[in-house]
Amino acid sequence: MSTPIALPAIHRETLPTGLSVVVAQRPGVPLAAVRLVLRGGSSLDPARRSGLAHLVALAARRGTRRRTGPEIDLAVESLGAELGAGVDEDATYFGLSAPVEELPRCMDILADVATHPIFPPAEVKRLKRREVAALAHDLDEPSVVADRAMLSAAFGDHPYGHSPEGRVRDLTEASRGDVVGFHSRHYRPSEAILVVVGKVELGEVLALVRKRFGAWRGPEGAEPPVRAPAAPETRVVVVDKPDITQSQVRIASQGFPRKSPDYVPGIVASALLGGGFTSRLMEAIRVNRGLSYGVRSRFSTSASGGVFFISTFTKVETTGEIVQVALDETARFSDEGPTAEELERTKSYLCGLFPLSLETHDQLAEKLADLALFDLPDDDIRLFRDHVRAIGADECRLAARRYFPLERRVVVAVGPAKAIAPALERFGPVSVVPARKMV
């Protein structure tokens, strides 16, 4: 058994407004990491408005009732702090890192940005133009196009079926009214989690949180849960990009939610199959055949579901071959499972890597926010290594048979359709879409 990972003293409480507060008193560098999490994320994007949650998060810090966007930038910089915002499918995140002595002023700015943005029209327009330009630039990145196409193919019209950044046509049509309306509907304390980690005094932090966030109000009730996604139908999606000489390939199948009991067996099985330089897929694809410099597999987990996928690239001429090798190796692993030596090596690797994800205050704040977001116990962190060590070969094989792309799966390939589509017909019905449809 491994030594449990020591967590600092953690205090949890819920304010009368519904805001969940988590404070971890951690010695070390005199910094504080703050993470404000709002449940929902890009899964709340309305129809034909993909990317709206992302746009709202970016625009929130571009002006409030008390400060202009440049004033916010100057204040954060002058205090030696960093303030950022991001969105994934399940949540919107505001991240603050600041010297402990400046935490009161920085927390004031964070609360102002999250609860009282005014979304200046000029700033919303500027951000829209910037984000649309960034999406258009993504067309020059075949790997990004492939990831977007995989989400669409695996999830379809499910709320997880688009990237948080959205699509060009949707962002172009989004109005300031859409931005204001989204904020008023979804930014509410009852759906928020505030995590503070650092060399802080508990009483001072709680008093500060109550002062800065105690008056925050929003719509009553909770966001409805995202429905569980259905398994994808077996098919092939070719994203036509005639100007490239290497194909980007994704093979995806249904995964599981983050809270699933299959989480740890799944990540061990995935690491064995395609998690590093000694994995099965790397041996078969790179070492034995020289089809690609890199290949990986992993589970992407969310609140209501997830996806397992294999990601690689190869010459256009070997697109069909690399898919076949990946599927053959996946089927072989699912039948045979890992050897004792493979399993021990992979578990040691995962156990050794995990503490590195907790080194900084920011990293711990992220982990604690995830515990709250997905309703997980502290033992998910403390006993992670024990949970990994307990996984046997049979559990890995069972996870592989449940989730690896053996039957219902989608194959996505980005490249010149005329050259690669015929080679992929053996893997399912083929549909061809222009690359521009992915952004």
Domains and CATH numbers, the chain: 9-213 (3.30.830.10), 235-438 (3.30.830.10)
| Mean per-residue pLDDT, 8-23 | 96
Integer Cα distance of 100 and 428 in angstroms: 57
**49 pLDDT band (50/70/90 cuts)?**
very high
The sign of the torsion formed by the CA atoms of 108, 114, 118, 121 equals positive
In tens, the pLDDT along 156-204 reads 999 999 999 999 999 999 999 999 999 999 999 999 999 999 999 999 9
* Residue 132 φ/ψ, nearest 5 degrees: -65, -40
DSSP state of 245: S
Residue 116's DSSP bridge partners are none
Residue 383 class from Cβ within 10 Å (0-12 exposed, 13-18 middle, 19+ buried)? middle
Which of 216-225, 227-236, 370-379 is predicted with the least confidence, judged by mean pLDDT? 216-225
Looking at residue 264, what is its pLDDT?
A: 98
Integer Cα distance of 20 and 195 in angstroms: 8
pLDDT, the chain, mean: 96
* 389, 1 contact by CB (below 8 A): yes
* 67, 120 contact by CB (below 8 A): no
Which pairing describes strands 20-25 and 192-198: parallel, antiparallel, or unpaired?
A: parallel
Give the residue from 310, 54, 20, 75 showing the smallest Cα distance to 194. 20
Looking at residue 1, what is its pLDDT?
A: 62
Is it the case that residue 222 has pLDDT exceeding 90? no
Which pairing describes strands 91-99 and 82-87: parallel, antiparallel, or unpaired?
A: antiparallel
Looking at residue 435, what is its pLDDT?
A: 93
Is it the case that residue 136 has pLDDT exceeding 80? yes
| Mean per-residue pLDDT, 146-159 | 97
| Mean per-residue pLDDT, 121-131 | 97
| Mean per-residue pLDDT, 299-318 | 98
Is it the case that residue 236 has pLDDT exceeding 90? yes
Of the chain, the percentage scoring pLDDT greater than 90 comes to: 95
The sign of the torsion formed by the CA atoms of 242, 248, 249, 250 equals negative
Give start and end residues of each alpha helix (H) in 354-405. 361-373, 379-382, 384-389, 393-403
Looking at residue 3, what is its pLDDT?
A: 85
Of the chain, the percentage scoring pLDDT greater than 70 comes to: 100
* Residue 408 φ/ψ, nearest 5 degrees: -80, 115
Q: What is the pTM of this model?
A: 0.95
Higher pLDDT, 24 or 2: 24
Looking at residue 223, what is its pLDDT?
A: 87
Is it the case that residue 396 has pLDDT exceeding 70? yes
Integer Cα distance of 179 and 163 in angstroms: 18
Residue type, 122: A
Is it the case that residue 2 has pLDDT exceeding 80? no
DSSP state of 285: I
Integer Cα distance of 372 and 20 in angstroms: 8
Contacts of 222 by beta carbon, 8 Å cutoff, 6+ apart: 190, 191
Residue 154 structure tokens? 């695996």
3-class state of residue 49 by DSSP: coil
Residue 178 structure tokens? 């859409």
Integer Cα distance of 143 and 72 in angstroms: 35
* 87, 45 contact by CB (below 8 A): no
**115 pLDDT band (50/70/90 cuts)?**
very high
* 349, 268 contact by CB (below 8 A): no
DSSP labels, 104-155: HHHHHHHHHHHH-B---HHHHHHHHHHHHHHHHHHTT-HHHHHHHHHHHHHH
| Mean per-residue pLDDT, 100-113 | 97
* Residue 291 CB neighbours (<10 A): 20
Integer Cα distance of 127 and 58 in angstroms: 8
In tens, the pLDDT along 239-297 reads 999 999 999 999 999 999 999 999 999 999 999 999 988 999 999 999 999 999 999 99
**42 pLDDT band (50/70/90 cuts)?**
very high
Integer Cα distance of 419 and 316 in angstroms: 7
* 378, 28 contact by CB (below 8 A): no
